[in-house]
Structure 1
Amino acid sequence: MTEESTALTGREPPPVRDWLAHELDGTVFDPVLSELMSEGPLTRIRLPHGEGWAWLATRYEDVRTITNDPRFSRAEVVGRQVTRLAPHFKPRPGSLAFADQPDHNRLRRAVAGAFTVSAMKRLRPRAQRILDPLVEELVRQGPPADLIERVLEPFPLRVVSEVMGVPADDREQVHGWTRQIISTSGGAQAAERAKAGMYGWITEAIRARRGSAGEDVLSLLGAAVGRGEISEEEAVGLAGPLQIGGEAVTHNCGQMLFLLLTRPGLFRLLQSSRGTPESWDTALDELLRWIPHRTAVGLARVALQDVELHGLCIRAGDAVHVSYLAANRDPEVFPGPDLIDVGRDPNPHLSFGNGPHHCTGAVLARLQLELLLHTLLDRLPGLRLDVPAERVPWRRQTMIRGPQALPVTWG
């Protein structure tokens, strides 16, 4: 991409801004992203890895437009080193995240049955049975305790492994692989070793379940391969990101609890909202909108043809990033966007994405967050931090933000 390729008549393209994605403590909103939002609806960025620069859209309506527009392709990203946060980038063929229509719908259908609202309703009591012993053991041993280590990390691992169909004996190994894959530490070699281990395991699991009538994801994929609806390579590419998705619940819930434990007024408001399901849902939506759940931006798209936006021309071949975090703070859609309003309604946040690539496991993630918050607030009266807020350690060199540990006491 060249400077000459970006301008539409009479308008200079914005300068390319280096975004180094500094390590941030707590739930502070990224100051670089704030500046980019103030500079205009469409800016240009260069992230620490990859090549060249990319457009960045931060306004809510622009983010919705781009993520729904077939002129912006995820599939075209494969094989290119688009500027990005992750040091390693090697998408697997068949990955849902890098599929365009009609392949995207064909692939998604293979696992859709495991993530329907009705499937989540059936899962809910099983998930509660997974959570209860973790919290009971926490209560039995008494305070203080690290909620990340004791509950927020093992619970999503076990629930996602249940949905995926991972045998109990293999779950810790699979979890170790996912942690390394989403980390930006250790470099490309460590990530590739983890990917090789996890995807090799997934391949064998899918092969063993061809013809299966099971309802878990690996069985659904094995059956779909057996029927010739998707290839084995596609099935493996589908399963990997779904398995990794449990990590986000750990760190999103960690951020929510940190907010509640450092803002007593917010804690009281959330407690009062638990009396009615509608109020609780509204409050949870607001927490999802507000928390800065990731570092920088995620996966890019590539323009398939020239597209005009805000008097600028995104040329065919240009990389384009969108920021869901920025869209969730757009004052045109969310009045007082930096305030946490647990009664905000409507709240059309984009925390689970938008368009065809809306998170497949969104209903599952929401179910887990709700169970975690409900159960912990019920079973740990007087819950509070066991250290000053500034001493809570936060994750470093990672794409998903959240506390590394959450030391608490109660009673």
Structure 2
Amino acid sequence: MTQEITAPADGATPQPPVRDWPALDLEGTEFDPVLAELMREGPITRIRLPHGEGWAWLVTRYDDVKLITNDPRFSRTEVTRRQVTRLAPHFAPRPGSLAWADQPDHNRLRKPLAGAFTVRAMKRLRPRAQETLDGLVDGVVRDGPPADLVERVLEPFPIAVVSEVMGVPAGDREQVRTWTRQIISLRGGATAADRAKAGMYGWIADTIRARRDSGAEDVLSLLGAAVGRGEISEDEAVGLAGPLQIGGEAVTHNCGQMLFLLLTRPELMARMRERPDGRGPVIDELLRHVPHRSSVGLARVALEDVELHGVRISAGDPVYVSYLAANRDPEVFPDPDRIDPDRDPNPHLAFGNGPHYCTGAVVARLQTELLVGTLLDRLPGLRLAVPADQVAWRRSTMIRGPETLPVRW
């Protein structure tokens, strides 16, 4: 069903109340109760997050989320000029970041990255990624149970793969990892985030500068070459590289949630083991289901008055969409809170939508398939080593997932 966003009409309905949405530390894969309540209140509500200023609209229905994320009347760039209400304690967007670019800049900035994320590039990456993963699992098998899958596999594997795609030298990977963890943490406040960003972005700038003439196909080399050709500025190249480097964190914690669900739902685990050729649709359903982040992501700002469901969104108003809520819309996903491995169709929005669809989605999907498949195949009888309610979950973070995942096999 496609819904039109029309020009505002006189007599638009009164604005809904502003709801405070605190930063919650939720256990397990529990769906955010505040978001669930907002979804019940209506397709468009108003929220105030822990940081920033004022309030923002929140849109939760699937069709509305798709519409707004494709509508040029809602700008990401405009957000960079404001202190919009937000979850993160610190907000200092960099020039060149794809996350804040509107068209036509968005296409110009994305073009230099295209070569790193083609089908050919993924075919080339897959055997190297599998070899890296096999080495990590070899160590787990050699040492024997119990083992913490987060520490032994789920953290180091995405770091290695993303660093391979980015072109991060082996000797620099641990430092880059330290920076990324601090950047996505809500702990430490602005000072710690600033220090981590300065370190990582300074390192990226030096690396891009050194690779203008390398001719290699890793992301940092492609960006260096684009700077050398005058297609993008050095600041823009750095702004492009940073979020891609941080993206490996999402794979770690998404897969942690997926494995926790498999380890606590025997029927789901049995399905994955008995039908290895049918794992893809189950992974899609888990991607739809897992609440991969806290609260909401990045805002947009309305560039003109817009009416949605009889509510006037005025020019200048900030607007958030919730992909988590859209993935639980009962109009699109019947019985949305249930994990249905046979759900078909499953047009989930786990990787976003529109021009801001996740740049690294193909790499993330590749890593997820390899991680889940390899662990199930290599560790027969895989089970939790502690009761499910004793698994420790991440606190004060924007990306949710288990802190540790102790297992036996």
TM range (shorter): over 0.9
User: What does residue 406 of structure 1 align with?
Assistant: 405
| 1:184 counterpart (183, 186, 195) | 186
User: What does residue 53 of structure 2 align with?
Assistant: 51
Distance 1:184 1:104 in 2: 28
Equivalent residues of 2:150, 2:403 under 8 A apart: yes
Distance 2:104 2:214 in 1: 26
Matches within 5 A, 1:22-101: 22-101=24-103
Matches within 5 A, 1:291-370: 291-370=290-369
Quick one: structure 1 residues 389 and 7, their matched pair in 2 at CA, closer, same or farther if it must change by over 3 Å? Answer: farther
Q: Secondary structure of the equivalent of 1:93?
A: coil
Equivalent residues of 1:8, 1:313 under 8 A apart: no
| 1:216 counterpart (218, 225, 245) | 218
Q: Secondary structure of the equivalent of 1:341?
A: coil
Matches within 5 A, 1:156-195: 156-195=158-197
Distance 2:321 2:118 in 1: 27
User: What does residue 386 of structure 2 align with?
Assistant: 387
User: What does residue 4 of structure 2 align with?
Assistant: none
Q: Secondary structure of the equivalent of 1:22?
A: coil
Which residue identity lines up with residue 286 of structure 2 in the other structure? Answer: L
Q: What is the CA-CA distance between 1:11 and the residue it aligns to?
A: 1.3
Quick one: structure 1 residues 217 and 340, their matched pair in 2 at CA, closer, same or farther if it must change by over 3 Å? Answer: same
Distance 1:385 1:403 in 2: 12
- Determine whether 1:141 maps to 2:140: no
Distance 2:177 2:92 in 1: 20
User: What does residue 3 of structure 1 align with?
Assistant: none
Q: Secondary structure of the equivalent of 2:81?
A: coil
Matches within 5 A, 1:139-288: 139-274=141-276, 276=277, 279-288=278-287
Q: Which whole-Å deviations, capped at 9, do the CAs of 1:371-399 have from their partners, x for residues lacking one?
A: 00111001111100000111100000000
Q: Secondary structure of the equivalent of 2:52?
A: coil
Equivalent residues of 2:133, 2:157 under 8 A apart: yes
Q: Which whole-Å deviations, capped at 9, do the CAs of 1:63-93 have from their partners, x for residues lacking one?
A: 0000000000000000211000000110001
Q: What is the CA-CA distance between 1:345 and the residue it aligns to?
A: 1.1
Q: What is the CA-CA distance between 1:367 and the residue it aligns to?
A: 0.3
TM-score normalised by L of structure 1: 0.97
Which residue identity lines up with residue 291 of structure 1 in the other structure? Answer: V
Quick one: structure 1 residues 294 and 7, their matched pair in 2 at CA, closer, same or farther if it must change by over 3 Å? Answer: farther
Q: What is the CA-CA distance between 1:10 and the residue it aligns to?
A: 4.8
Equivalent residues of 1:50, 1:82 under 8 A apart: yes
User: What does residue 125 of structure 1 align with?
Assistant: 127
User: What does residue 396 of structure 1 align with?
Assistant: 395
Q: What is the CA-CA distance between 1:8 and the residue it aligns to?
A: 5.7
Which residue identity lines up with residue 260 of structure 2 in the other structure? Answer: F
Which residue identity lines up with residue 47 of structure 1 in the other structure? Answer: L
Which residue identity lines up with residue 109 of structure 1 in the other structure? Answer: K
Q: Secondary structure of the equivalent of 1:298?
A: coil
Q: Which whole-Å deviations, capped at 9, do the CAs of 1:145-171 have from their partners, x for residues lacking one?
A: 100000000000000000000000000
Q: Which whole-Å deviations, capped at 9, do the CAs of 1:196-220 have from their partners, x for residues lacking one?
A: 0000000000000012210000000
Distance 2:364 2:297 in 1: 18
Quick one: structure 1 residues 10 and 93, their matched pair in 2 at CA, closer, same or farther if it must change by over 3 Å? Answer: closer
Q: Which whole-Å deviations, capped at 9, do the CAs of 1:334-385 have from their partners, x for residues lacking one?
A: 0110110111111000000000000000010000000001110011111000
- Determine whether 1:17 maps to 2:16: no
Q: Secondary structure of the equivalent of 2:158?
A: helix
Q: Secondary structure of the equivalent of 2:232?
A: coil
Structure 1 runs of 4+ off > 4 angstroms? none
Distance 1:118 1:312 in 2: 46
Structure 1, unpaired ranges of 5+: 1-5
Equivalent residues of 1:7, 1:312 under 8 A apart: no
Distance 2:352 2:165 in 1: 21
Equivalent residues of 2:9, 2:307 under 8 A apart: no
Equivalent residues of 1:286, 1:342 under 8 A apart: yes
Which residue identity lines up with residue 358 of structure 2 in the other structure? Answer: C
Aligned residues: CA RMSD: 1.0
Q: What is the CA-CA distance between 1:189 and the residue it aligns to?
A: 0.3
Q: Secondary structure of the equivalent of 2:251?
A: helix
Which residue identity lines up with residue 303 of structure 1 in the other structure? Answer: A
Distance 2:235 2:368 in 1: 32
Distance 1:117 1:337 in 2: 32
Equivalent residues of 2:89, 2:190 under 8 A apart: yes
